[in-house]
Every structure is written in structure tokens, then in C-alpha cells.
């Protein structure tokens, strides 16, 4: 910057050497450099800080091209940030508010999140990520028809996997486990490493009487996220229903499950084993073909696919 100001005063950086000579017959005339330098002073006061810094960098580092390029790039970035400041502030407001709504839902405050989703949309408009939050809130507040519509509207978006998952949970809650399997398979095909979806699919298959078909998604979920209590519970249910009592006991001991939780898991496993046996008997009577749909069993809210065994297995009928 010192060089830049010194250059303005002297005209060294911007004027040719002939500008400092006397004019013809002009004894004691002011050099032509002075008006030009004065003009540069006036111009400098109107130049932004970012632009002045860029010019100063150019004058001070002409002997170091790499440093010059770096400082010029920094100046351009700073100028862009200034120009985009208002838009960036609005983006930050959107992100902060959306994050607040997400945290509310993580804490189970789904009714409150619906109110804030309304406020968010009034201020910022709608978007697919916000529509996804609304669909989940509608499901969690047991507004199933509206939730189903919201999920279906997202099937063509980047949130299709989550939307199919939501539809599968709705189907399971209504007791239609065959439909739950269809929707959860669609979700898992779009998000193959999602441990919760795999676990929910395994649970839906168990409730549909397809005990052996449930093995792969249940074990995949356990290996993908073996610390998740919901996933561990579903795996223990499958092991007990499949008569792998020693493995199930060891799994529950590693997870430090309480006696009440173990009892609830055992009851759930017994119900699933009986349903699988009923399905097998029905299949043998029809020549090996399974009935098109399993028996519809009403579920409580806590006994959605993959949730019943993990959260409160004993609450499921």
C-alpha cells in the first residue's frame, strides 16, 4: 500500500518520464505529472477497499508473479462475498431455521414442527427438503392420509428413498405388511446402505410370515449399525423366532438389555414364529403357493415395522 500511495504522489507507476519536463518557453511551469497525480488521489477516495487492496498488491509484488496472482484472487473472492452478502444472509437464515425444525423433530416435537414449517414456508417458500420434513411430521402425528399424499408427491424427487420408507411405515402401521414390504424394498433399492430401512424391511417380512426371507436385511442392518437398539432388537427377535436362542441371548447381553425388554422381545418372537408356521401350513394346503397377503393385524403406533421390537415390543398386539 505504501508503494501504491507513493506511486500516486509521484506518478511513477502511471506516468511516462516525459511528463515531468518543463513545457516549451514555460520557465517554472508546473510539471504535467501533478494534475494527473491529483486526479488519481480523487479517484482513489472513490475506489472500494477491496479494489484498492488489489491495486496495491499489484504494485508491491510485481517481482513475485505467484504472490501477485494469489493476492488478486483473494481480492476477487472478497469482492464476490461483498456482492453476494445479502443473498448469503438469506441462505443462512433458511439453513438455520430448517436446522431448528429438524432438531425439534429429533426431540419428538412433531406438532410444534408443523407450526414452524408453516411459518418457514410463508417466509421462504416450499422446497423438497421442507416437504419431506412435513411428511414425516404428518406421519408422526398420525395424520396418515395427508402423510401418504405428501410422501407420494416426493417419489419423483431426490427424497424418493425416504418417501418410500415413510409409505412402508404407514402400511405397517395399518397392518398391511405385504404393502409395507413392497414400499420398503423400493426404499432400500434406492439407499442400499441405510441400516434402519433394512431393519424395518426385515421386521415387515417377519410380520408377513416370511421368516427366512427376513434373514438377509436383518443381518445386513445389524452389521451396518450394530449399536442401534432398534436394529439390535429386531435381530434378536429374528434369532429367537428362528430358534437361535443362544445367539439371541448373547446379542441381548452385549446390548445390556433389561429383563423387561428381553421379555417383550421373546413375546414378539413367539408371535412371529406362530405366524410364520401358520403361513407355512396355508402354503402347504395350496400346493406351495403363499396366500397373496398375510393376515392383517392392527398395530399400535409404537409397533410400526422395525419399531415395535426396538421401542416397546410388548405394546404390539
Please report the pLDDT score of residue 4 as a whole number: 43
Query: What are the sequence ranges of the domains in the chain?
Result: 2-19+31-83, 193-317
Cβ neighbours around 76 below 10 Å, total = 12
Please give the Cα distance from 198 to 170 (Å, whole number): 16
Please report the pLDDT score of residue 77 as a whole number: 67
Consecutive 10-residue averages of pLDDT for the chain (317 residues): 47 42 46 43 44 48 61 68 59 85 95 96 93 98 98 97 98 96 98 98 96 96 96 97 95 95 96 89 70 39 38 35
What does DSSP assign to residue 17? G
- Of 9, 110, 3, the closest CA to residue 60 belongs to 3
Please report the pLDDT score of residue 178 as a whole number: 96
Amino acid at each position: 500500500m505504501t508503494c501504491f500511495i507513493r506511486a500516486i504522489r509521484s506518478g511513477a507507476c502511471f506516468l511516462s518520464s516525459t511528463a515531468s519536463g518543463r513545457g516549451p518557453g514555460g520557465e517554472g511551469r508546473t510539471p504535467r505529472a501533478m494534475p494527473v497525480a491529483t486526479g488519481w488521489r480523487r479517484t482513489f477516495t472513490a475506489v472500494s477497499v477491496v479494489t484498492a487492496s488489489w491495486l496495491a498488491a499489484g504494485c508491491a509484488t510485481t517481482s513475485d508473479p505467484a504472490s501477485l496472482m494469489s493476492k488478486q484472487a483473494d481480492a476477487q473472492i472478497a469482492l464476490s462475498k461483498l456482492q453476494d452478502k445479502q443473498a448469503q444472509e438469506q441462505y443462512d437464515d433458511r439453513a438455520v431455521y430448517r436446522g431448528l425444525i429438524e432438531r425439534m423433530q429429533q426431540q419428538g416435537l412433531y406438532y410444534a414442527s408443523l407450526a414452524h414449517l408453516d411459518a418457514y414456508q410463508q417466509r421462504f417458500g416450499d422446497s423438497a427438503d421442507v416437504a419431506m420434513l412435513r411428511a414425516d411430521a404428518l406421519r408422526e402425528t398420525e395424520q396418515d392420509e395427508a402423510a401418504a399424499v405428501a410422501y407420494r408427491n416426493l417419489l419423483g424427487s431426490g427424497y424418493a428413498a425416504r418417501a418410500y420408507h415413510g409409505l412402508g411405515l404407514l402400511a405397517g402401521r395399518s397392518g398391511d405388511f405385504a404393502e409395507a414390504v413392497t414400499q420398503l424394498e423400493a426404499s432400500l433399492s434406492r439407499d442400499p446402505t441405510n441400516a434402519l430401512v433394512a431393519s424395518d424391511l426385515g421386521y415387515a417380512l417377519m410380520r408377513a410370515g416370511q421368516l427366512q426371507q427376513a434373514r438377509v436385511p436383518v443381518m445386513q442392518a445389524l452389521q451396518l449399525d450394530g449399536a442401534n437398539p432398534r436394529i439390535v432388537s429386531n435381530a434378536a427377535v429374528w434369532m429367537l423366532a428362528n430358534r437361535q436362542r443362544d445367539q439371541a441371548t448373547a446379542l441381548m447381553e452385549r446390548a445390556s438389555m433389561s429383563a423387561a425388554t428381553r421379555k417383550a422381545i421373546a413375546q414378539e418372537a413367539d408371535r412371529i414364529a406362530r405366524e410364520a408356521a401358520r403361513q407355512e401350513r396355508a402354503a402347504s394346503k395350496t400346493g406351495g403357493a403363499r396366500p397373496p397377503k398375510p393376515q392383517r393385524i392392527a398395530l399400535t403406533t409404537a409397533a410400526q415395522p422395525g419399531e415395535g421390537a426396538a421401542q416397546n415390543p410388548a405394546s404390539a398386539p
